[in-house]
């Protein structure tokens, strides 16, 4: 893509986990890490926790093998420009964008991600009733997030530390890595803009997202998160799924044993997600996804960002 062209973008969020959406169906744009970081810069750029690069699966080398199952690939990038396997809030916003752009109908659709194909269900829009977009304004989106992997043995548990306090944390993989710590008070996690220390670091050679969790009631928890590659964010969908499964196991609830789904409400600073684990081990996440607005980038600004990235 010529950098003299105006680049269309949209801004969206899911429970205030916010994203710059870059439609690029034919994968003509080489988004360098520096260009992504500049797009996500909250002062010099558009601002976001990450970028949703929207590409046809057939046009992307990492997604071509999924093209028969999923027409669209979510090429997800963290706000610092690093690549992540999966983004739960992102996949809902990605689905919302496809619907918004008229590329899919409401109902069921499949989206390719680096963690595999994820199936989403877009509810028909309901009348606006909730100013925070928790589901009333644009209808909720449910995503089949796959199974949570909870390793056994020495990698099952790590220790996370912030500001002189330490907690044991459960290792949960939702396509991307998470460490889930149950704490007495969410304020104990202090400043999460810098990454908590996680030991032993060798358990997560590619880094990890860290969730801090407190009780709110029966099958109801609240969390804060430090996201790998983004810092503290207002929500993390894969993190909420990891938290749900860790909380259920801690509470002695395993849907595979019970023979029925187990559902938790997970409050995040930016809203609320509903997470269910089914008897076959798969996890479903339901929550809002909002398109905030759209525009075009100035050609000169984009050229600068791409040239910086190439440097
Ligand atoms: N916000 C996301 C997770 C984004 C990726 C994560 N920071 C990582 O590096 O794994 C979500 O909603 O799941």
Q: 131: which 2 tokens?
A: 């100013």
**How much is the pLDDT for 126?**
52
Q: Which CATH class is domain 153-283?
A: alpha beta
Annotated catalytic residue, options 84, 87, 160, 240? 87
Q: Could you report the predicted ipTM of this complex, rounded to two decimals? A: 0.98
- The answer to whether 298 is annotated as binding is no
In short, whether 84's Cβ falls inside 6 Å of ligand 1 is yes
pLDDT along the chain (311 residues), means of 10: 75 98 95 93 96 98 98 98 98 97 95 98 66 52 98 97 96 98 97 94 97 98 98 98 98 98 98 98 97 91 60 38
Distance of CA 232 to the CA centre of its chain: 13
Give the 3-state secondary structure of residue 301: helix
171 neighbors 156 (Cβ within 8 angstroms): yes
Whether residue 200 has a cis bond before it, omega within 30° of 0: yes
Handedness of CA 55, 227, 16, 212 (dihedral sign): positive
CA neighbours closer than 13 Å in the CB half-sphere of residue 73: 24
C-alpha span between 214 and 220 (Å, rounded): 9
* Residue ranges of the chain that CATH labels 3.10.310.10: 7-140+290-310, 153-283
Q: What is the pTM of this model?
A: 0.94
Q: In the numeric block, which tokens belong to residue 46?
A: 């558009």
Rounded to the nearest 5°, which phi and psi values hold at 34? -65, -40
Closest residue by CA, ligand 1 atom 2: 87
Bond prior to 307 in cis (omega within 30° of 0): no
What pLDDT does residue 4 have? 63
The answer to whether the annotation marks 227 as part of a ligand binding site is: yes
Atom number, ligand 1, closest to the C-alpha of residue 233? 1
Is residue 81 in contact with ligand 1, taking CB distance under 6 Å? no
Does residue 234's CB lie within 6 angstroms of at least one atom of ligand 1?
Answer: no
CA angle 3, 36, 113 (to 5 degrees): 110
**52's tokens:** 């949703």
Q: Which atom of ligand 1 is nearest to the CA of 49?
A: 1
| Chain position carrying tokens 């027409």 | 71
What is the predicted pLDDT for the residue at 134?
43
Q: How far is CA 28 from the centre of its chain?
A: 24
What is the dihedral sign for C-alpha 59, 61, 63, 64? positive
Q: Where are the beta strands (DSSP E) in 183-289?
A: 197-199, 209-217, 220-227, 231-233, 262-268, 271-277, 282-287
Distance 48 CA to ligand 1 centre (A): 12
Q: Are 113 and 174 in contact (CB under 8 A)?
A: no
Q: Is 87 a catalytic residue?
A: yes
Span 7-140+290-310: which CATH code?
A: 3.10.310.10
pLDDT of residue 125: 66
Spatial contact of 235 and 273, defined as CB atoms under 8 Å apart? yes
């Amino acid at each position: 893509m010529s950098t003299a062209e105006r680049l269309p973008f949209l801004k969206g969020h899911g429970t205030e986990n916010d994203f710059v959406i870059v439609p690029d169906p034919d994968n003509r744009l080489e988004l360098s890490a520096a260009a992504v970081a500049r797009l996500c810069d909250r002062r010099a750029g558009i601002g976001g926790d990450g970028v949703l690069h929207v590409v046809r699966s057939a046009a992307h080398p990492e997604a071509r093998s999924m093209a028969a199952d999923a027409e669209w690939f979510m090429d997800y990038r963290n706000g610092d420009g690093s690549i992540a396997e999966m983004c739960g809030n992102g996949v809902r916003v990605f689905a919302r964008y496809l619907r918004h752009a008229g590329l899919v109908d409401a109902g069921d659709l499949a989206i390719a991600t680096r963690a595999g194909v994820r199936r989403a269900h877009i509810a028909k829009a309901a009348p606006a009733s909730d100013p925070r977009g928790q589901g009333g304004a644009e209808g909720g989106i449910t995503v089949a997030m796959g199974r949570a992997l909870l390793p056994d043995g020495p990698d099952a548990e790590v220790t996370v530390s912030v500001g002189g306090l330490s907690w044991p944390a459960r290792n949960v993989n939702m396509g991307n890595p998470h460490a889930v710590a149950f704490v007495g008070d969410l304020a104990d996690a202090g400043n999460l803009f810098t990454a908590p220390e996680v030991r032993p670091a060798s358990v997560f050679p590619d880094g990890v997202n860290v969730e801090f969790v407190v009780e709110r009631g029966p099958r109801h928890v609240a969390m804060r998160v430090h996201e790998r590659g983004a810092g503290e964010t207002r929500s993390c969908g894969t993190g909420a799924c990891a938290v749900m499964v860790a909380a259920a196991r801690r509470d002695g609830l395993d849907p595979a044993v019970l023979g029925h789904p187990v559902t938790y409400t997970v409050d995040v600073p930016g809203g609320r997600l509903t997470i269910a684990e089914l008897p076959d081990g798969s996890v479903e996440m339901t929550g809002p996804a909002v398109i905030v607005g759209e525009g075009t980038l100035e050609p000169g600004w984009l050229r600068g960002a791409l040239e910086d990235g190439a440097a």
